[in-house]
Structure 1
Amino acid sequence: MTPEPSLSASRKDDHLRLAAEQAAAPPARNDFDDVEFLHHALDGVDEQRVSLATRVGPWTWPVPLYLNGMTGGTETAERVNRALAIAARETGIPLASGSVGIALDDPAAAGGFRVIREENPDGFVMANIGAGRGPDDARRAVDLLGADALQLHVNPVQETVMPEGSRDFSSWPAAVEAVIAASPVPVIVKEVGFGLSRRTLARLADMGATIADVSGSGGTDFAAIENARRAGGGFSQLAGYGQSAVACLLDAPASGPQLLASGGVRGPLDVARSLALGARAAGVAGAFLRTALEGDAETAVAAAHDWIVRLRGVLALLGAASPSDLARTDLLLRGRVREFCDLRGIDAGAFARRADPLPPSTAPGEGPAPRRTM
């Protein structure tokens, strides 16, 4: 007789199914569309000169891109993680697991996570646990995957909507600080699609966090996913809740943690936009989920290679020989993003003048330079 799946395992497979449905019908726009590179037609560089290497914490990643945590702990999840691990192995892209809490509570679920290291023995791997977990669980998660880093996710919106979620968040700050202090590897604190505000990033810095993934809205929406799992719904108004990765990057404190960006990253241009706004690297999940669900490692590898090739081309077009060079590109911030900047006291116009100051003859309010006559 086939055993009944555990509640945690059933939830994991629900998440995969519902996330894949969202990925198949993405929003027509997100805040990345309000970030426009000012085109300078003679600024491009030789693509062969472009290095995609980026510094994140104590590491140098070969590309400013990572495959963010999606799942683990079930047969379906194992198939997904195997395909993603092979793609990461063949391209050098760092890879995060989904939350390993299910394996910490039920050792029988560990195989769906171990496959990540089995298929990618020398790659950069991030284990993932929730903010309600303690230092012992952090060490166990790192050991399970032989992880190079630990993602510690904070997800109060998801827990609020989740039928079986925890709604006592009062202990989270102390637990986060304890895990950061005790983890055997560097900790990356991340949201799950609702954003990390300026105040939250400042608090994380005070807790000892040195790296944070702002993980904003606009991608996989766990409020909508959990609401779909509730009998009768009831939390539909929380769909789309939170701030985008774009808004979080713009709002981040100068003295806060180093930043990673995920949430709504649809292609290499969005990766470049993230880097231009201050992220060291950008994470992607939904764009690879459908391929990974089919267990198609070959297609996942091809897709990862394609992202790298196109990202190098975008950097060359923008005159950036490295990801850090994008911090000097001119950006036009429009629409909702411009409104967010106005409300939060951020000088949106300054981003349009980063490459060169406007010459006096064309400075705002002075009009065009006089036309030369013979």
Structure 2
Amino acid sequence: MIGNRKDDHVRHAVDQQREGHDSNDFESVAFLHHACAGIDYADVALSLEITGKPWAAPLFINGMTGGSERTGQINRELAIAARETGLPIASGSMSAYFADDTVADSYRVLRGENPRGFVMANVNANATVEQVRRAVALLEADAVQIHLNAVQEIVMPEGDRSFAGWPRQIERITQAVEVPVVVKEVGFGLSRRTVRWLREAGVAAADVGGRGGTNFARIENNRRTGADFSFAQGWGQSTVCCLLDVSDLTGIEILASGGVRSPLDVARALALGAKATGVAGHFLRILVDQGTDALVTTIENWLEQLRQLMTVLGARTPDELLRCDLLLTGDVESFCRLRGIDPMAYSFRSPDSSVRRHS
């Protein structure tokens, strides 16, 4: 039954990508163009460190699937794409493996096809410490993702209904495992309050996983008889709004996923404070519709175009995008004002900017 559900999730996720996109709020973030800000392309480097480990670029293939023959093949192809492009990759939820270890190969292939890459195991917040250790060992994982998906579980016909134990279990896992812990939402966003708590719990990185990408409330509603949870499909905060909400928190690395659809969205997320960005649904559709070679080409093009954007913006490293002036408009500006964030301050961040507009 779990394997069938995993196959359903892939099918519905790809269908969403083909049908069109929910608003991701990235369109409400624009770089203020400075015509003489550009630098030499040769001086731009995408490499950085995340959780103390080197990454070739501020981009990763986020957790998607596993647990069935079909999803094992998808993981194989995703792992090949990660190997060929140097991107880190995360597994999908490994709950199916905990329930039935005969599906182990559908996850283990991520390491088998990508022996030297950065691989993250993915577990839910109810996983025991022993289960997390099994997951890490199976993938020889460099980090473990704990996904938070209360809204998905509530809408899921066979989903969990008990979430009170999540905080304590996250603390136990963080204290017990020997690899960095990343906590991620699955598409409804992490608030400032949540990320602050995760930092206090010792979590290494938080992936805000905001609204705008794969909509798991819609997926699970489509699996329900009667589809009576349509009202939940717009739940949560966008990735952009989440990044703004946590922009001044220190002591925890911030990652961004949810609705990242282009190299420009990657640059926007980095400029809003993300250390790196994750992509799942967009890459999955390309893989399913066009194949592994097309996905590799897409990722290579994204990395090249990101470096070109940084050249125009005058950012030698991903961190230097934090100096770029941004114009926040529409719903994003409204969110800022409601959360006590000054949207105008983002348009005067570059070294030569000044609120004296006509000097």
Cα offsets for 1:69-103 (capped at 9, x unmatched): 11001121112111111111011100011011101
Give, as a single letter, the amino acid of the residue that structure 1 aligns with 2:36.
L
2-structure distance, mates of 1:90, 1:147: 18
Cα offsets for 1:308-362 (capped at 9, x unmatched): 1111111111111110000000000000000000000001110100003545xx7
SS of the residue aligned with 1:72? coil
Give, as a single letter, the amino acid of the residue that structure 1 aligns with 2:341.
I
Partner residue in 1 for 2:30: 36
SS of the residue aligned with 1:98? strand
1:183 is displaced (CA, Å) by 1.4
Unaligned runs of 5+ in 1: 1-6, 370-374
Cα offsets for 1:267-321 (capped at 9, x unmatched): 1100000100111000001111123235822222111111111111111111111
1:163 is displaced (CA, Å) by 0.4
Deviating above 6 A after TM superposition, structure 1's stretches of 4 or more consecutive aligned residues are none
Partner residue in 1 for 2:277: 282
1:25 is displaced (CA, Å) by 2.1
Residues 172-211 of structure 1 correspond to what in structure 2 (within 5 A)? Answer: 172-211=166-205
Q: 1:122 aligns with which of 109, 116, 124?
A: 116
2-structure distance, mates of 1:295, 1:184: 38
Partner residue in 1 for 2:307: 312
Residues 18-167 of structure 1 correspond to what in structure 2 (within 5 A)? Answer: 18-27=12-21, 29-167=23-161
Is the contact made by 2:31 and 2:324 (CA closer than 8 Å) also made in structure 1? yes
1:180 is displaced (CA, Å) by 0.9
1:104 is displaced (CA, Å) by 1.8
Give, as a single letter, the amino acid of the residue that structure 1 aligns with 2:319.
S
SS of the residue aligned with 1:97? strand
Give, as a single letter, the amino acid of the residue that structure 1 aligns with 2:4.
S
1:243 is displaced (CA, Å) by 0.4
Provide TM-score, normalisation by structure 2: 0.97
Partner residue in 1 for 2:225: 231
Is the contact made by 1:82 and 1:295 (CA closer than 8 Å) also made in structure 2? no
1:204 is displaced (CA, Å) by 0.8
Partner residue in 2 for 1:4: none
Cα offsets for 1:39-97 (capped at 9, x unmatched): 01111111121100122121121100000011001121112111111111011100011
Partner residue in 1 for 2:208: 214
Give, as a single letter, the amino acid of the residue that structure 2 aligns with 1:82.
R
Q: 1:273 aligns with which of 268, 286, 296?
A: 268
1-structure distance, mates of 2:69, 2:5: 13
Is the contact made by 2:207 and 2:256 (CA closer than 8 Å) also made in structure 1? yes
Is the contact made by 2:22 and 2:213 (CA closer than 8 Å) also made in structure 1? no
In structure 2, relative to structure 1, the CA distance for the partners of 1:358 and 1:257 (3 Å cut) is: closer
Is the contact made by 2:205 and 2:255 (CA closer than 8 Å) also made in structure 1? yes
Give, as a single letter, the amino acid of the residue that structure 1 aligns with 2:113.
E
1:256 is displaced (CA, Å) by 5.1
The answer to whether 1:170 aligns with 2:170 is no
Is the contact made by 2:14 and 2:284 (CA closer than 8 Å) also made in structure 1? yes
SS of the residue aligned with 1:23? helix
Give, as a single letter, the amino acid of the residue that structure 2 aligns with 1:334.
T
1-structure distance, mates of 2:172, 2:292: 37
Is the contact made by 2:196 and 2:249 (CA closer than 8 Å) also made in structure 1? no
1-structure distance, mates of 2:22, 2:169: 38
Unaligned runs of 5+ in 2: none
Partner residue in 1 for 2:333: 338
Provide TM-score, normalisation by structure 1: 0.93
Identity %: 51
The answer to whether 1:243 aligns with 2:257 is no
